[in-house]
Amino acid sequence: MDWVELLARWLHFIAGIAWIGSSFYFIWLDNHLRAPRGGGRDEIAGEVWSVHGGGFYHAQKYRVAPPELPDPLHWFKWEAYTTWLSGMFLLVTIYWLGAGVYLVDRSVADLEPWQAIAVSAAFIVGGWVVYDGLCRSPLAAREGLFAGILFALVVLLAWGLCSLFGGRAAFVHFGAVLGTIMVANVAMVIIPGQKKMVAAAARGEAPDPAPGIKAKQRSVHNTYFTLPVLFAMTSNHFPFAYAHRYGWVLLAGIALAGALIRAWFVMRHAGRASPAPLVAAGAVLVAMAVLAAPASRDGSGSRVSLAAVRDVLDARCTSCHSETPSNPGFAAPPAGMAFDTNGQVRAEAARIHEQVVVTRGMPIGNLTNMTDEERQLIDDWYRGQMEGAPGE
């Protein structure tokens, strides 16, 4: 399973680069189109010249379709499908098959694993249903109102996930919901619209431009979702965010900042880069950093022995963090952290304190029911270490 997860993550990463790279390129391409030099045919909407890898490239975009379809005609879809399929494979094998460890956090919501899996699936499917319905409603024509409602729904999504799952799972599911919307846009709107246009052109008919307009709208939505999804999918490295009391606020705030940053790039490509989105994104990130900053805390003043800390770690942590984990979900200690010896515990003191006391991200989902008193004991021991308490 370790090899399966390694290869699946690698595939997911590679496919994601291919999908996002092509998506970003075509948004750039659309925004850099210029009228053909010296006039030209009416069916040409614009062209762009570029240089890369020692060669010159000349790309043209037709208003609807060329008079005669070229062969071959290249499509861009499998990058998206492969990213989603590999991502769902990882979500199922890690968060569904390991729901008791990675998905359920009974300190957040008292769910049985099967209930948590059902809720997970409902969010992933329901996210697309709600979004697609919104896009098909008259609200889609009012961009400002549409964007406001969509962001409100994104905030509600972050809050709902963080109210039902452990923070780590909630953040990843946030990315899974948005990622599913993105790939469904490709599979359900963009590609079918393009097929209709190609079929009409093959019959010698003038293609209806409406499917292309809808596809363009969904493509633009996808580009604004991209940075929030990328953050969500790497968020398991940042327990200060996902394990925070107000993790849903951090998640929604960072997602907003990502969308604003992407908006600035889109504006820059089009040649009208107002600094407002970047300034707003910076302000949001500063606000999130202030919110996430650990509160100053005072120790109890008591001196704690390493032996007392080892008792807590043995009871709450070493089922996973051991050279030979007893938890069947792990073949090796997570993050390479093992607490079998005093030397190992001392060497990992800073990380233990950060994960257990500062961010409270561990034990994962508080699976072993570590108490606040035990966290305080580890805090006091760590402070004694920093102050150079003898014999500790």
Tokens of 29: 């391409």
301 inside domain: no
Q: What is the pLDDT of residue 9?
A: 93
Is 280 within the bounds of a domain?
yes
The ranges of the chain with pLDDT < 50 are 390-392
Report yes or no on 70 lying in a domain. no
Kindly give, in sequence order, each residue whose CB lies less than 8 Å from that of residue 100, ignoring residues fewer than 6 positions away: 113, 367
**Shared domain check, 375 and 253:** no
Across the chain, mean pLDDT equals: 88
Is-contact 11 19, C-beta < 8 A?
A: no
Number of domains present in the structure of the chain: 3
Residue 182 belongs to some domain of the structure: yes
Is residue 391 domain-resident?
Answer: no
Last residue of a domain, one of 247, 268, 292: 292
The pLDDT value given to residue 122? 97
Our CA dihedral for 369, 374, 375, 381, rounded to 10 degrees, sits at -150
User: Within this chain, do residues 139 and 175 fall inside the same structural domain, yes or no?
Assistant: yes
Predicted pLDDT at 388: 59
Q: Is residue 262 part of a domain?
A: yes
Query: How high is the pLDDT of residue 10?
Result: 95
Q: In the prediction, which pLDDT does 298 show?
A: 64
Looking at residue 128, its pLDDT comes to 96
**Is residue 268 domain-shared with residue 171, that is, in the same domain?**
yes
Q: Provide the pLDDT for residue 391.
A: 46
* Domain span holding position 179: 2-31+77-292
Do 48 and 27 fall within a single domain? no
Q: Do residues 254 and 323 both lie within one domain?
A: no
Question: Is residue 261 assigned to a domain?
Answer: yes
C-alpha–C-alpha distance, residues 290 and 278, integer Å: 18
Are 14 and 56 in a shared domain?
no
Instruction: Please indicate, yes or no, whether residues 111 and 259 belong to a single structural domain of this protein.
Output: yes
- Asked if residue 158 is part of any domain, the answer here is yes
pLDDT of residue 296: 64
pLDDT of residue 293: 86
